[in-house]
Amino acid sequence: MARKTKIEALITRQNILNAALEIFSSKGFTSTSLSDISTLAKVTRGAIYWHFENKDDILHEIFCDFEMMKSEHIKPFHIMLNTNPFIALKEALIKTLDIIYHDKKQAMIMSLIFFDRELAYRNDAIKNIRKNILFNDGDIESALIKCKESGVYQENFDIQKNATMIRIFVIGIIEYWLAEPDKFNLSKDGEKAVLRFLETAPII
């Protein structure tokens, strides 16, 4: 019986997080009330306070879940980094776009990060996630250094500038798709765009 109660509590907690994310991404964090969340999650406000201190605590847990998901999907990148850094980088970028396209939860988190400007200015967690949205800090640079060492790129290849360009390019694709999802397929068209960019972009 205790185990069942614990499972039910975990389910309730996750329902609250899912409902909060859905409303945050569509209505905005500041405009969302706990009553909005409780209504969508079909729980009482007391149930929300049982699991979370306040709205900021809910947001914090959403971002913790995001970081865990990101850590899982970049594991293959770290495994492959030393043996084939170019393939590791390419596949990680493509996989990122594919996950956002197919995973509604990831897409909602991206919408919250990119479009809730008021929240971005007041929340350090969002600032950090925006900076390292694709990988952990320094991962892209590490891949490009290894690519340069293995002869994929020339000696005059600027690591930092090109790492910045990759971030701008891929984040731009994600943000444009979130704003205009019917314009293109983020997974299929995004893959083609990544391949073309990495293989034909001029060296900075």
Coil, strand or helix at 32 = coil
Domains contained in the chain, number = 2
Residue 138 identity = G
CA distance 159 to 153: 10
Regarding whether 103 and 173 lie in a shared domain, the answer is: yes
Per residue in 143-198, pLDDT tens? 999 999 998 888 888 999 999 899 889 999 999 999 999 999 999 999 999 999 88
Say if 163 falls within a structural domain. yes
Domain identity same for 39 and 13: yes
Task: State the average pLDDT over residues 27-53.
Answer: 94
Q: What is the CATH number of the domain that holds 47?
A: 1.10.10.60
Residue 105 lies in a domain: yes
* Cβ(147)–Cβ(61) below 8 Å: no
Of 10, 34, 52, which residue sits at a domain end?
A: 52
Structural element, H or E, at residue 34: helix 34-41
113 — pLDDT class (breaks 50, 70, 90): confident
Using an 8 Å Cβ cutoff, are 191 and 170 in contact?
no
* Domain span holding position 13: 1-52
Residue 153 tokens read as 């790129």
For residue 58 the two structure tokens come to 């809910």
Residue 1 has pLDDT above 50, yes or no: no
The 10 Å Cβ neighbour count of residue 102 is 11
Domain check: are 69 and 135 in the same one?
Answer: yes
